Each structure stands twice: as C-alpha cells, then as structure tokens.
Amino acid sequence: MTEAREKKYGELAIEQCRLEAWENSYPERDYLIALSMPEFTCLCPRSGFPDFATINIRYIPDRKVVELKSLKLYINGYRGQYISHENAVNKILTDLVDLLDPRWMEVVGDFSVRGNIKTVITATHTCPGFVVPRDVCPVSRAE
C-alpha cells in the first residue's frame, strides 16, 4: 500500500493553473511573438513511455498576449497526460487561440527521436481575412 503524501507547491501550482492573457499595448501593429519551451513532456497514450519535445509558438497578437508564467505552468501540466504528439500540438493551438484570438498563430512540436522516428508537428491558425505579412512571418505554402 502506498502512503499518501502532501503535494509540493509546484505540483499544486501546475494543477491549479489556468492560461491567462494580458492586453496588447500595440494592437495597431503587426508584430511577431516567438516562444520556445524546450522541456515539454507528455506520456504516450499507447505505451505510457514519456515523450519529450521542444514546443515553439509564434504568433501575431490582436488585442491580447499570453501571460508567460501561466503558459509555463500550462505546458508543465502535460507532463502527466497521456496524449499523442498530434493531439498535444493541436490542443495547445486550440487553447491559445480560444484565449487570445490572435491574427495568426503557429505551434510546432519538435519531438525527440523515439524508435528511430523523428516527429515534427505543425499546426496553424489564421484569423479570417488576415493576410500574414511575409516579412513578419514567411509562410511556405503551395499557392
């Protein structure tokens, strides 16, 4: 039988975390925010083995920007979740788009090699009617 233990303050902070946004001080300007989180961890839903990745987020904000400590805790919350690479990247994108309603956003999950397979997942969102400035955010898409 395992003995119950009191949770550490970091575990509680992650558990109680909710993503937060701040007002964008420059909503009239198109500018790029780039964030990198090189210590992303989740659990494989099939095997339970840990998966490791660098999560890169790039976005052009509209009226809101993400509060970074809440983002850190949110990302750390994946550590004990059973979730596929594809679902993790798309859930992060959905949660951030729902919170921020950015003009444009890209989330890339660059997962460590496992079983001789390197996985990179890219998910994007573009606000209807917004044209992504190529000098701010070059998009390589077949036209």
What is the number of other CB atoms lying within 10 angstroms of the CB of residue 13?
A: 15
Catalytic residues: 44, 51
Just give the CATH number of 31-64+78-128.
3.30.1130.10
Question: What are the domain boundaries of the chain?
Answer: 31-64+78-128
C-alpha gyration radius of the chain: 17
pLDDT digit string, tens, across residues 50-107: 999 999 999 999 999 999 999 999 999 999 999 999 999 999 999 999 999 999 999 9
Q: What is the pTM of this model?
A: 0.88
Structure tokens at 143: 């036209």
pLDDT of residue 143: 37
pLDDT digit string, tens, across residues 17-62: 799 999 999 999 999 999 999 999 999 999 999 999 999 999 999 9
